[in-house]
Structure 1
Amino acid sequence: MISRRDMIGYLALGAGLLAMGGTALAQQPATPFKVVAFAGASNLPFWVGQEKGFFAKEGIAPTLEITPNSVEMAKNLHGGRYDMALTSVDNIVAYDEGQGEADLPSKADFVALFGVDNGMLSVMSVPEIKTFAELKGKTLSVDAMTTGFAFVLRAVLAKEGIGPNDVTYVKVGGGAQRLEALLKQEQAGTLLNTPLDLVAEGKGFNRLARGADVLGAYQGIVGAARRDTAAKMKTEMEAFIRGFHASVTWLADPAHKDEAAGMLVARMKGMERPQAEKAYDRLLDPKEGIYRDLRISREGLETVLRLRSEYGPGQVKLTDPDRYVDLSYLKAALGGR
């Protein structure tokens, strides 16, 4: 028969072993996960996920690098420098169709795994230009001529009666680069996403139109990867999606507005507190902001394909949204959530 003293000893030993096991588990290193993105809206959930431990909870330690342009993004995602890109879905379509501006050594094989937003795009102009008509004869900046949001800008201008020969387009780079060039008035206008548009607006630059008001449904930023990378890193991909989703859920709570605005001020060059608060309201707008469920809008993707069919190289007609999307990772990550 086990004595009371022995029983206490066994219990103490068991508790010690459990504690040691728990400590070992807690000290197990998180899996690295390399992400590339453009400056803009999609990065706020990432920063939240890092600071609040949502990614760590899922066992991954993602890092984020800001790319200067879509060409570098595509080359580095394809080459394996990054596991995932937060990028416009049009970039995914372009490279999968062989229409991208980067010369890749083999088939792109990119695929969108989840959605972030509708682009939250606006045509912004220098202070002295207040109407679209005043853009005629001027120079406008884009990231790349045949990818990203360049076709959105062309489509919005076309709706306003401005044809491709009425303006001059120059390649400047991603949103941060275009914002900087606009603030220096190196070009008369460009397309910016939130919160970069608010930085420009806060400095006296003009918003001529919102892309969504002109084009309707549009799929903007997505989380994307190479198909083979996604398959090999299925566990990490789904963990990242869960962490990103937890971050969006945290952001959607109005009680966190002040803290979220502070993150924007701390991390966004030129962002002041009033613009940061406006950015939060825009980014977390239930209808027009970051998607709570990380969906990819089929209707929005159809608009992307329509614009690429009209303005893309060779005007190749693209009609199958499913060709560029694999939602199985999103479904596995979130289940019934």
Structure 2
Amino acid sequence: MSHTLHLLWFVPSPVAVVAAALKLTASVTLKAERNPSSDAQFEALVTGQADAVVTAIDNVMDWNLRQGPRDFRVIAQLERTTPLTLVGQKGRAWLQDLRGATILVDAPRNGFIVALRAMLAEEGLGPDAYALEPVGGVQERYDAMRAGRGDATLLGPPFDAMAIEAGLSRIATVQERYPAFPGQGLVVSAGALERLRPALSAWLRGLESARERMGSDPESARQALTLAGFSASAVDAMLRATPASLCPDRAGIELLIEQRRSSSLPGADTTYEKLVEASTLPKG
């Protein structure tokens, strides 16, 4: 039986690229589009324009506070971690250099910015020490930095390497400070889960096969990612981010909850059990 799945993501998930290239998800027609922001993902889920999104897991904590179904769940983790590099304009080389800076973000109170808020707080830079300017997703932030707008931002592959090659400064990485930081999750509304279960289960079976192949035969995975247009450095980062399991990592999610709590952001009273719904994952 063939299934169709409407999906939004910022960049294609490596396991999804490998699964498609190796024809491991042939039973699912994936209609995936790049989205400009996490707010666009939220709206698409609420209106039914998207069945699921691949996004920063922290977003779910904020989305479940907004007007809407408030039943968003993480049903899979598609990366071990999302490699995130804090890049700055020339002259911004250290975290302390961000005092008084304008930091470009997707959204000011959810997503990857929560990890950066926590990192800056540990350096003595509270929320009054810098300004956050929403400009959109990773492509939009990269383009804005290249155009000289803003002083710093967080970027993931391949945009982090591209930014440094273009002359921007590498300030720090989230992974250096928080090794347990989790990668992006596959998120759906619990109210739509039963309708979507056949398509999601079929697609996740293919992703699990791709995940296993990325571990056992990394060269075929490297070729698939290279043919998809990713640079050698981005491919290396993607392969390193292959998850040990598609099951959302408890330690990683609990880190996100603690970062939200330490940043005094709402939504930190949630738990792993409230955020995760793993019933569509392949068994065994």
| TM superposition score normalised by structure 2 | 0.91
CA contact (8 A) 2:141 2:153 kept: yes
2:36 to 68, 92, 98: 68
**Aligned-partner Cα distance in 2 for 1:195–1:69:** 17
CA contact (8 A) 2:14 2:238 kept: no
How far apart are 1:248 and its partner, in Å?
2.9
Query: Which residue is equivalent to 1:249?
Result: 212
Please list the CA deviations of residues 246-301 of structure 1 after superposition, one character each: whole Å capped at 9, or x if unmatched.
Answer: 23334442322244223134xxxxxxxxxx1122222212xxx1204213111110
How far apart are 1:317 and its partner, in Å?
4.3
Q: Name stretches of at least 5 consecutive residues in structure 1 with no aligned partner.
A: 1-27, 266-275
Query: Which residue is equivalent to 2:3?
Result: 31
**Aligned-partner Cα distance in 1 for 2:14–2:243:** 13
Query: Which residue is equivalent to 1:172?
Result: 135
Q: In structure 2, do the counterparts of structure 1 residues 239 and 278 end up closer, same or farther at CA, with 3 Å as the change threshold?
A: same
Query: Which residue is equivalent to 1:322?
Result: 273
Query: Which residue is equivalent to 1:116?
Result: 78
Query: Which residue is equivalent to 1:85?
Result: 53
SS at the partner of 1:178?
Answer: helix
AA aligned to 2:61 is V
**Aligned-partner Cα distance in 2 for 1:204–1:299:** 35
CA contact (8 A) 1:245 1:292 kept: no
Query: Which residue is equivalent to 1:8?
Result: none
CA contact (8 A) 1:38 1:174 kept: yes
Number of matched pairs: 281
CA contact (8 A) 2:18 2:224 kept: no
Please list the CA deviations of residues 76-129 of structure 1 after superposition, one character each: whole Å capped at 9, or x if unmatched.
Answer: 112211111101111112112x1x4xxx4x323111111122222121112332
AA aligned to 1:260 is L
Q: In structure 2, do the counterparts of structure 1 residues 33 and 212 end up closer, same or farther at CA, with 3 Å as the change threshold?
A: same
**Aligned-partner Cα distance in 1 for 2:122–2:115:** 11
**Aligned-partner Cα distance in 1 for 2:51–2:275:** 17
Q: In structure 2, do the counterparts of structure 1 residues 185 and 239 end up closer, same or farther at CA, with 3 Å as the change threshold?
A: same
CA contact (8 A) 1:78 1:108 kept: no
Greater shift in the superposed pair: 120-129 or 235-244: 120-129
**Aligned-partner Cα distance in 2 for 1:316–1:79:** 23
SS at the partner of 2:228?
Answer: helix
**Aligned-partner Cα distance in 2 for 1:280–1:47:** 11
How far apart are 1:222 and its partner, in Å?
0.4
How far apart are 1:322 and its partner, in Å?
0.8
Identical pairs, percent: 23
Higher Rg: 1
CA contact (8 A) 2:88 2:151 kept: yes
Structure 1 vs Structure 2 CA RMSD:
1.9
Check if 1:132 corresponds to 2:122.
no
CA contact (8 A) 2:15 2:242 kept: no
**Aligned-partner Cα distance in 2 for 1:229–1:156:** 36
1:231 to 170, 191, 194: 194
